[in-house]
């Protein structure tokens, strides 16, 4: 089978690998689509794994069943989550599944940018989902990104009528803006500096779109009765964006950091300001089997629109081009890799 093997961001080679052999309880899935994730574009994160086959948002057809597999049949349309938790450790008992050692150790083989993947038995048991007919393979690649945002929303408090501000109108930001409405936000604000992305934000129903910059806080306060946001979701992983998120938060507000910064970077904090404004800073990472099911339900019911987010469909030989488009962050949103043209 063909795979797109990552050596560096500017060196991704289409190579041949054997089709994975599956064991008891496992699935062999013919990959029909796999989304590019923002983490794939973080060189410091991807380079330490190289050489490797990236891709962790796959959908496809069940091609082979391992002994003892129940609930699936050859030809089923499925989404496979790359991480699953043990469900019994200290962190799982607290519902903090991404902290589980098993969660971090599980993965699909070799990665979603391949013609076939092996799905381990634990993943098959806990987080392989049948795709309903109303969700296409390409749309199904958004299950994991939506689920990650769902987990983020579960980690913060949103009161009915709250003002929620999303900093960054990329794929994650546009998903968060839609989820904020489902969580009861009274005012949904999105801040970015790319006109193409701001236009998409308007199409998806944000109440207020603000161009990033010095005047952002003033525009927010003018529209929001002189207050900052009750919840600020910072989707870029830069220190500048995190500082801006804290600045845009109102008294008693929460700032959710959604992406990591470069290792070793430090976020300077005015602790006196944070104390007197009673701000809460929190983070979120990945998603669980509960979140993927919630995400799929939102998608199949049309509560979250994902099809408009898909702007590019590329082949295995175009993964590097997809990473370039993501890094530019201009007229692109979700980029989906389609192994079989």
Q: Is the pLDDT of residue 296 over 90?
A: yes
Judgement on whether residues 253 and 319 belong to the same structural domain of the protein: no
Average pLDDT of 88-94? 98
% the chain with pLDDT above 70: 100
Q: Which of 244, 263, 283 is the last residue of a domain?
A: 283
The verdict on 8 and 140 lying in the same domain is yes
Structural domain boundaries enclosing 38: 2-144+287-337
Does residue 116 fall inside a structural domain?
A: yes
Do 197 and 261 belong together in one domain?
yes
Check residue 136 and report its DSSP letter: -
Residues 271 and 296 both lie in one domain = no
For position 227, what pLDDT does the model report?
98
Domain limit, last residue, from 265, 283, 301: 283
pLDDT digits (tens, 9 = 90+) for 48-59: 889 999 999 999
Answer whether residue 87 is part of any domain: yes
Query: Is 167 found in the same domain as 117?
Result: no
**Residue 46's pLDDT band (boundaries 50, 70, 90)?**
confident
Nearest to 310 by CA among 182, 147, 200: 200
**One domain, residues 45 and 170:** no
CATH number at residue 15: 3.90.180.10
Last residue of a domain, one of 249, 265, 283: 283
Query: In this structure, what is the dihedral angle of CA atoms 255, 100, 266, 333, given to the nearest 10 degrees?
Result: -60
pLDDT at 234: 98
Q: What is the pLDDT of residue 40?
A: 87
What is the CATH classification number for the domain harbouring 210? 3.40.50.720
The CA-atom distances, in angstroms, between 93 and each of 72, 90, 97, 98 are: 28, 5, 8, 12
What is the chain's mean pLDDT, rounded? 96
Q: For residues 275 and 294, state if they share a domain.
A: no
- On whether residue 149 sits in a domain, the answer given is no
Residue 214 has what pLDDT?
A: 87
Judgement on whether residues 138 and 168 belong to the same structural domain of the protein: no
How many structural domains compose the chain? 2
- Whether residue 182 is preceded by a cis peptide bond, meaning omega within 30 degrees of 0, is no
Identify whether 150 is part of a domain. no
Structure pTM?
0.96
Please tell me the distance from the alpha carbon of residue 41 to that of residue 325, in angstroms, as a whole number: 10
Least confident segment among 37-46, 56-65, 103-112, 221-230: 37-46
Tell whether 274 and 307 lie within a shared domain.
no
Same domain, residue pair 54 and 137: yes
Helix (H, G, I), strand (E, B) or coil at 163: strand
Find the radius of gyration of the CA atoms of the chain. Answer: 20
Q: Are 190 and 263 in a shared domain?
A: yes
In-domain check, residue 151: no
241 contacts 248 by C-beta, under 8 angstroms: no
Same domain membership, residue 246 and residue 114: no
Q: How many angstroms separate the CA atoms of 330 and 162, rounded?
A: 30
């Amino acid at each position: 089978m063909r795979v797109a093997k990552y050596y560096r961001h500017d060196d991704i080679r289409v190579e041949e690998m054997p089709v994975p052999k599956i064991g008891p309880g496992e699935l062999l899935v013919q990959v029909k689509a796999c989304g590019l994730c923002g983490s794939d574009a973080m060189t410091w994160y991807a380079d330490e794994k190289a050489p490797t086959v990236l891709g962790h948002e796959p959908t496809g057809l069940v091609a082979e069943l391992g002994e003892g597999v129940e609930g699936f049949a050859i030809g089923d349309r499925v989404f496979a989550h790359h991480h699953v938790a043990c469900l019994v450790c200290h962190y799982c008992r607290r519902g903090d599944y991404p902290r589980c050692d098993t969660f971090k150790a599980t993965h699909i083989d070799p990665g979603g940018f391949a013609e076939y993947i092996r799905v381990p038995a634990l993943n098959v048991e806990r987080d392989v989902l049948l795709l309903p007919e109303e969700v296409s393979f390409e749309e199904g690649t958004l299950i994991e990104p939506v689920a990650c945002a769902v987990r983020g929303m579960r980690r913060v408090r949103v009161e009915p009528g709250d003002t929620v501000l999303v900093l960054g109108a990329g794929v994650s930001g546009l998903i968060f803006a839609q989820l904020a409405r489902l969580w009861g936000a009274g005012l949904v604000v999105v801040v970015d500096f790319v006109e193409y992305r701001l236009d998409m934000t308007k199409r998806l129903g944000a109440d207020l779109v603000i161009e990033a910059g010095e005047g952002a806080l003033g525009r927010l306060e003018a529209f929001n009765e002189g207050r900052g946001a009750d919840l600020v979701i910072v989707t870029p992983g830069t220190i500048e964006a995190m500082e801006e998120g804290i600045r845009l938060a109102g008294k008693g507000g929460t700032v959710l950091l959604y992406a990591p910064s470069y290792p070793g970077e430090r976020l300077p904090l005015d602790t006196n300001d944070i104390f007197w404004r009673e701000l809460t800073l929190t983070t979120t990472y990945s998603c669980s089997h509960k979140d993927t099911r919630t995400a799929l339900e939102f998608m199949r019911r049309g509560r979250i629109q994902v099809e408009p987010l898909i702007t590019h469909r590329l082949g295995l030989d175009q993964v590097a081009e997809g990473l370039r488009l993501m890094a530019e962050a201009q007229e692109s949103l979700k980029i989906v890799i389609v192994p079989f043209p």
